[in-house]
């Protein structure tokens, strides 16, 4: 059931069916905290960066071909998710991520030695060659952040924008009452209202893309404190080139490794863009559920798909559940932004020691936004329909269309018309005629809601 592994602190019992060694086992025993495991995105990123480091070390004459090839083979297995069961560590560990770096080193060495049929690889001497946990973990953070945004979040946003553009076009001539302060306002087309949603999604996408620039800088090559001790000259640039080639994404070596190790401002900046998107999604989802409220006693200006029963006690009730999921995700992302900011502020001297919690929250935000936007688009927005008859009914009852008469009868008289219509429960036309501000003929000529948009 167990084998004995040794490190600088002595012997440890390690499960015989696992590739990790003593340091990973120590972490398992010393940090029995929570159930949040190191994100799989970080594990995949470690597979990529360890392969890139082996290729760079080989190119620079430090690592022989056989060891390089075996390290690369195992790293491919890690990147493909074949060794996920061998990465058991929790987020709540050392703040530098040292134990996760060693987990990767030990698994690569253990699996590599199995493939080689001999003790060919040492986790520190070969797998961790020219590296430190202090530069590998922030490198994994940046690789994981860029990859998860580009592979998952941006495609979800693109699909959302396509749906919104279609809805905008379909409803370009659906005139309805606008609303400000949750009160009636001047007319707007539903297409114009949707164009605001579309622009929010597009702006969110643009801000996220702009924020990725700093995340493309890799700390690898700074080693322990940013000086690059024990890394060969040119290793930092070569390893960034290798990471770019392996991922098909642009990465560069960080120009200042002292900054790269101790500051997480790029993640704060990028998460700020995620928070901005979350705020926009909160607004969009709330608009949809307000407009769909009813079916008889709410606004009822749109219908959305009925996906499941809404109540265990009220038969026939259907709720805007997709909107609720999006708004809950928005709350979580906003909370995560606080954690990312606090974590980034803890860069003491030459190292930030809140990195695991920082990237855990960042990646959770990306994952939740991508999934919730995709679900919202597929299960709600794609089936959204305007109830034009209800929109017209509400528009005809609105008092704020009186604004179109202000240029002809003046602000004060327009206000008196609206107040009279409301107090006596009559139409604006009836109130305006009763007060003698316009003749019936002039009112009908001047009062054109369709020209107020």
Catalytic (active-site) positions: 181, 311
3-state secondary structure of 177: strand
Q: How far is CA 221 from the centre of its chain?
A: 28
Euclidean distance between CA atoms 270 and 242, whole angstroms = 24
Tell me the residue length of the chain: 453
Residues whose CB falls within 8 Å of the CB of residue 276, separated by 6 or more in sequence, listed in order = 203, 204, 207
- CA distances, 308 to each of 297, 312, 315, 325, 358 (Å): 20, 11, 12, 14, 36
Looking at residue 127, the DSSP 8-state letter turns out to be I
Euclidean distance between CA atoms 172 and 167, whole angstroms = 8
Euclidean distance between CA atoms 397 and 429, whole angstroms = 11
Euclidean distance between CA atoms 333 and 277, whole angstroms = 9
Euclidean distance between CA atoms 24 and 12, whole angstroms = 10
- Residue 308 CB: number of other CB atoms within 10 A? 8
Q: Which two tokens stand for residue 121?
A: 């690889």
Euclidean distance between CA atoms 102 and 111, whole angstroms = 14
Beta bridge partners of 177: 187
Angle between helices 265-291 and 133-148 (to 10 degrees): 30
CA angle 294, 299, 304 (to 5 degrees): 60
Cis peptide, bond prior to residue 295, ω within 30 of zero: yes
Euclidean distance between CA atoms 112 and 101, whole angstroms = 16
- Residues 206 and 258 sit within 8 Å (Cβ to Cβ): no
- CA distances, 354 to each of 94, 101, 108, 218, 359 (Å): 8, 15, 25, 18, 9
CA angle 336, 338, 342 (to 5 degrees): 120
Pairing relationship of beta strands 347-348 and 302-303 according to DSSP bridges? unpaired
Q: Please say whether the dihedral angle defined by the alpha carbons of residues 53, 58, 62 and 63, taken in this order, is positive or negative.
A: positive
């Amino acid at each position: 059931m167990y084998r004995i592994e040794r490190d600088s602190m002595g012997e440890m019992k390690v499960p015989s069916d696992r590739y990790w060694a003593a340091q990973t086992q120590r972490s398992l025993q010393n940090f029995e905290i929570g159930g949040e495991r190191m994100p799989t995105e970080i594990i995949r990123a470690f597979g990529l960066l360890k392969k890139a480091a082996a290729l760079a070390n080989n190119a620079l004459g430090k690592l022989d071909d056989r060891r390089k090839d075996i390290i690369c083979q195992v790293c491919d297995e890690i990147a493909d998710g074949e060794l996920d069961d061998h990465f058991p560590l929790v987020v709540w560990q050392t703040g530098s991520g040292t134990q996760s770096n060693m987990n990767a080193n030990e698994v690569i060495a253990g699996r590599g030695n199995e493939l080689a049929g001999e003790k060919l690889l040492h986790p520190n001497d070969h797998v961790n060659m020219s590296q430190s946990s202090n530069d590998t973990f922030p490198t994994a953070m940046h690789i994981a952040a860029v990859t998860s945004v580009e592979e998952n979040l941006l495609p979800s946003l693109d699909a959302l924008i396509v749906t919104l553009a279609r809805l905008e076009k379909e409803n370009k001539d659906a005139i309805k009452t606008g609303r400000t302060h949750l009160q009636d306002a001047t007319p707007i087309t539903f297409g114009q209202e949707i164009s605001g949603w579309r622009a929010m999604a597009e702006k969110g996408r643009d801000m996220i893309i702009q924020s990725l620039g700093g995340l493309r800088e890799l700390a690898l090559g700074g080693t322990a404190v940013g000086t690059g001790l024990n890394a060969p000259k040119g290793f930092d640039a070569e390893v960034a080139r290798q990471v770019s080639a392996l991922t098909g994404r642009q990465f560069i070596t960080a120009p200042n490794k002292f900054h790269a190790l101790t500051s997480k401002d790029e993640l704060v900046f990028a998460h700020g863009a995620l928070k901005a998107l979350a705020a926009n999604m909160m607004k969009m989802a709330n608009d949809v559920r307000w407009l769909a409220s009813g079916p008889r006693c709410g606004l009822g200006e749109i219908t959305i798909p009925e996906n499941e029963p809404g109540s265990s006690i009220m038969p026939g009730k259907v709720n805007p559940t997709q909107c609720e999921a999006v708004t809950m995700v928005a709350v979580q992302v906003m909370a995560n932004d606080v954690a990312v900011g606090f974590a980034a502020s803890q860069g003491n001297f030459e190292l930030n020691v809140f990195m695991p919690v920082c990237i855990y929250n960042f990646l959770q935000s990306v994952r939740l936004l991508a999934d919730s936007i995709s679900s919202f688009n597929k299960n709600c927005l794609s089936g959204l329909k305007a109830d034009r008859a209800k929109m017209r009914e509400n528009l005809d009852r609105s008092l704020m269309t009186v604004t179109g008469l202000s240029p002809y009868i003046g602000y004060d008289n327009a206000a008196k018309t609206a107040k009279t219509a409301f107090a006596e429960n009559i139409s604006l036309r009836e109130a305006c005629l009763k007060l003698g501000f316009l003749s019936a003929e002039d009112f009908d000529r001047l009062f054109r809601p369709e020209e107020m948009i």
